[in-house]
Structure formats: structure tokens, C-alpha cells
Structure 1
Amino acid sequence: MERSRIAVAGASGLIGSALVRSLTADGHEVVRLVRREPRGADEVRWDPERGHVDAAGLTGCDVVVNLAGAGVGDRRWTPEYKRLLRDSRVLGTAALAEAAASLPRPPRVFVNGSAIGFYGDTGDRVVDEDAPPGDGFLSALCVEWEEAAAPVAEAGVRTVFLRTGLVVARGGGAWGRLFPLFRAGLGGRLGDGRQYWSYIALHDEVAAIRHLVDGDGLSGPFNLTAPQPLTNAEITEAMARVLHRPAVFAVPAPVLRAALGEMAGDVLGSQRVVPRRLLESGFRFAFPGIDEAIRAAG
């Protein structure tokens, strides 16, 4: 990709910060969307929950990447937090899409976050991007999240949706909590361990985003997951193997439900998601296997 001006919302998050480092290292001009008063020309003010974006700050941006949203696993899903999860994604996406579409020269591509939660619990069934949405809160949220980007797509901007799986990284997300437990010898399977986890190394997540930004003609949903999903039990064994720690503990399903409430359904649920469209587009994973993804995360 030629050197470009790229706006990133959610630049301080796990994926966003890694993406910004990668883009900056290659000489791109990155503009971060921030909720406070901007401290320089490389920052743009926005308030996603209130639907406000300083559109003038997006002038000249070739690419807009929206990865913003409150953390799904950060807190118990109270009605208030579920509202924040929705508003931070749906209202923020709508505001950013409208701002980008309103520019005299709109960006050439709009990349919007999403998640494999779109598909709901798929059990043992393998699903790709052609699968319909599932049931439950996260599925409905992902559908609204993607639909909120309609203004920029209707303006003729190539629009990509990143249906991301579980990101293997130490710095945040589900795996950010797993690493300390396993290093302390306290890791183990969740529930019966037969639920499928569709994972992706952080390095491959960033590389896939950049691949989709560069790929003229690539639009719509793309599953960002490694080619071979594994069960929670298989991943537990891999964590123990790579980190040289025992994994003898198991968290029973009733305990998870008591501790996590509604969110336990997503921990215990099964999502066997494959990245068909990403592979067909020519993307090659650097860390497709679970052992190498864990090692890459350190």
C-alpha cells in the first residue's frame, strides 16, 4: 500500500494499538480518534455514544478503520453495560460512517469491526461468511453493528466487516486473562471443553486487516480466524504444552454461569468458524496453528 492517511477509531485497544504500530512503522500517517480534546494534528475528537465526530479532522483520509467498542468481557452484562456495549459500537459506527460519507472526497475504504459472535452458538457445525446470524445478544449486536455502516457503503465506499475471533495475545482480550492463569499452573478447560474456539494470532489479525485494506474489490464480511478451529480442551492442552505448566483444573459450567451471568453462554458456547473468504482472497497466515500462535504471543 502506498503511504496513506489512515484514521483509526479504537486506536488504544488491543488490536488498534497493534495496527497503529504496524502502519506507523511503514510510514503511514495515522490519525487517532480520541474522546478528549485533541493534542495534535494526528488526533480527531469524537464521542461515539453521542454520535459526534469532528468530520473536518477526517479530511484527506484514504482509509477509515473503526475498531472502537466497550470490552465485551470487561464486566458482567448488566442491562446498563449491555446498553454501553451496543451504543459504543452501533452509535459510534453510524456517526463515523456518516462523517466519512459526508466528506468532499470520501475515503476509498471503510473497515469496520465486528465479531464471530454474529453466528451465535454453532455447535459442531462449520460456518463461513455465508452463514446467517444466530440467536442471542451478541449476534443481534453484531448485526446492528454492521448495519450501522450503511451510510458510507451507500456513498459508494468499499466497506469491509472484520468478524474477528478470539485473539491470541498477552495484552488484552480473553487470552490476556488466560496467560497469567496458565503460567501460575491454574489453567484448565471451561465446562466440558468440547466447545469450539475460533482463534487468531494478533500478528495475523493485523496482517489480515492490512490485506483487506489493500485488496481492491474486497468488501463485505470476512472471518478473521485461523483456518482450523479447536475445542477448548485442545486449546487448554496446547497452552499447558507450550507454557510447560500443568492444566489440571476445570471450571464447571454451573460455576461459570454463577460468576459470569449471561456472558457465560458465550464462554461455554461453541463457534466453529472458518475464514473462507480471507483464504480465497490470497491471505496467508503466519501463525495458523495454536502452538505457534501461543508462542508468537509470548
Structure 2
Amino acid sequence: MRILTAGASGFLGTRLVDRLTADGHQVTRLVRRPPRTPDERQWNPAAAQLDPQAVADADAVVNLAGAGVGDKRWDDDYRKLIRTSRVDSTTTLAITIAGLPAADRPAVLLNSSAVGWYGNTGDRTVEEDAPAGEGFLADVCRVWEAATRPAEDAGVRVARLRTGLPLHRDGGLLKPQLLPFRLGVGGKLGNGRQWLPWISMRDWLDAVAFLLAREDVAGPVNVVGPAPVTNAEFTRELARQLHRPAIMPIPALALKVALGGFAQEALTSTRVLPGVLGKAGFTWTHPDLPGALHAALTG
């Protein structure tokens, strides 16, 4: 399969490109700078600039583009970047796809989204049919997903990947926690009762490959593990696997001082279940947290 990817240099994108290439697919990466290799094509989503031929040459498009939500302290400018980097890239791809002759359109667009769609669910479990919640990330996800509509209206299969928290020692949720935990000063965030929709990196990659191949799956897809845990449970298991204590809870006020606007999202409870993947017959390699954390720490 010929696959066009956006966001290929990020935490998830680099691993996905490696996986798709290893599976025998021909992967072309969209980049904002001048291309350096034959497998790169330049685009400028902020200016809605993309050569339609780059899309016409693809059987599938995977869009993971967007500024990292945990990479910097949130201020007004960074909030704007989080939103525009997602909406601009998605809009540019979807409109370009829709503008192609039907015979030249890719068969599928897998477009990143996030479990932030659901806002704070407390202890209530939600699946893909739940409405958007409240809060900044929920609002971002609402407009982000809506930006795929031109491709969907043009008859292209669109799957919106509501990704949870992929676990890997080199990034995401896990990386910033490893040093304090190894120093014996790790702990739960706030009261620790908020739910975390984690997924192992292996299962996230497998899910994307699964959705590329499954022509009958479209719409929102929760890309999470089948057994969410609370932050306190996550903390205990991480401490156990690192053979360190976890007795230093991080107060909510300290998080707000350190993280600014992102602190509220870090304390949000999102108890999300993978309804669509489960019904479609997807099999998780790491269905529980201990196995996923072990793979994340040793793989």
C-alpha cells in the first residue's frame, strides 16, 4: 500500500513510519522544509498548500500532525498553536482529497484525534457514541474532527483516531515520570482518582495497521487499552516495576504552577473504553497495565 503520512517526525509518527515500512508499505512523508529524500513531499498546512498529486499518488493517508500537548507550559499562544496545528493540517488534507477526481482519491484517511474529546467523565465509562465534553481539549477535538468532513463527504472512508496515552519510555506520558520515580520521588497526581486511558505502543501501532486494512470501520475509534486505570493505580504499578517507592504525591496546586493551563487536563478523569476496536475483533497484545508497562520499560 502507498501511504502518505503527516506528523511523521513526532513521537508516534516516527514509530509508525518504521512499522509501516517494515510491513512492506511504501511510505511518503509530508514535511514543511524542502525535501531531502525521494520519500518526502513538501507542504505548508498553515497556508493550505499541498500538491494534489502527492495525495493522488497515495492509497491511504495517515495524519498525526499537531503540536504536542505536554511539550510546553500552556499560555494563550501555545493554546492557539495546539488548535491551529491540528485544524490546519486536517483541513488542508481533507479539502485536497475532496478536490481530486473520484478515481484518484485515497481509499482511507486515518486522522488523529484524542480522548480529550470526552472531557472529564469522572468514574463514568464512555465509548465512541458519547458526545463531546467540555474544556479546551474537548473543544479542540470537536473542530479537529469536523475538519475531516470534506473527505468524508467526498466518499472517502475516514477513521478518527481518539488516541489515549501510548506508553513508551522515550516519550508521551511515561518519559517525564521516569526520572523522578527512579529517584524515589515519584507519586500520584493530585488525589490520584482520575482515570487514565493508556495503551501500549505495540497495540497502538497494531491498531493503526488494523484500521488501514478494515474497510468496514469508519468514524471515531477509541485507540486505548481495554482496562483503564486510575492515576493512583498507574503510580503503584510503575513504582513496583521500577522497584522504587511512590510516596510523594504532587499536589494539584503545584501542578498548576508548573504546567499552567495543561494542569487541568493532567488532572482530568477520562474513563474511555475501546468499543469500536473490540466489536471489530481487534486483539490487544497488552490488555492490562502490568504487561504494557513492562513492554514500555524494556522494549
Provide Cα deviations, 1:41-60, integer angstroms capped at 9, x if missing partner.
31111122222222222232
Instruction: Determine the C-alpha separation between the residues in 2 that align with 1:48 and 1:86.
Output: 13
Q: Aligned residues, how many?
A: 295
2:249 counterpart SS class: strand
| Higher alpha-carbon deviation: 285-294 or 252-261 | 252-261
Partner of 1:237: 236
Provide Cα deviations, 1:54-78, integer angstroms capped at 9, x if missing partner.
2222232000000000001111221
1:249 counterpart SS class: coil
Partner of 1:192: 191
CA pair 39-103 structure 1, distance change in 2 beyond 3 A: farther
1:144 aligns with 2:143: yes
- 2:66 partner amino acid: G
1:101 aligns with 2:84: no
Q: Is the 8 A contact 1:100 1:106 kept in 2?
A: yes
1:124 aligns with 2:85: no
Partner of 2:66: 69
1:5 aligns with 2:2: yes
Q: Is the 8 A contact 2:5 2:63 kept in 1?
A: yes
- 1:241 partner amino acid: R
1:277 counterpart SS class: helix
1:127 counterpart SS class: coil
How does the TM-score come out when normalised to structure 2?
0.96
1:209 aligns with 2:203: no
1:1-298 equivalences in 2 (<5 Å): 4-104=1-101, 105-298=104-297
1:191 counterpart SS class: coil
1:111 counterpart SS class: strand
Instruction: Determine the C-alpha separation between the residues in 2 that align with 1:294 and 1:183.
Output: 15
1:190 counterpart SS class: coil
Provide Cα deviations, 1:88-135, integer angstroms capped at 9, x if missing partner.
000110001112222331000000000000000000001111111000
| Higher alpha-carbon deviation: 234-243 or 72-81 | 72-81
How does the TM-score come out when normalised to structure 1?
0.96
| Higher alpha-carbon deviation: 176-185 or 6-15 | 176-185
| Higher alpha-carbon deviation: 106-115 or 77-86 | 77-86
1:272 counterpart SS class: coil
**What RMSD over aligned residues (CA atoms) do the two structures have, in Å?**
1.1
Deviation at 1:246, TM superposition (A): 1.3
2:174 counterpart SS class: helix
- 1:87 partner amino acid: T
Identity across matched positions, percent: 48
2:110 counterpart SS class: strand
Q: Is the 8 A contact 2:122 2:194 kept in 1?
A: yes
Gaps of 5+ in 2: none
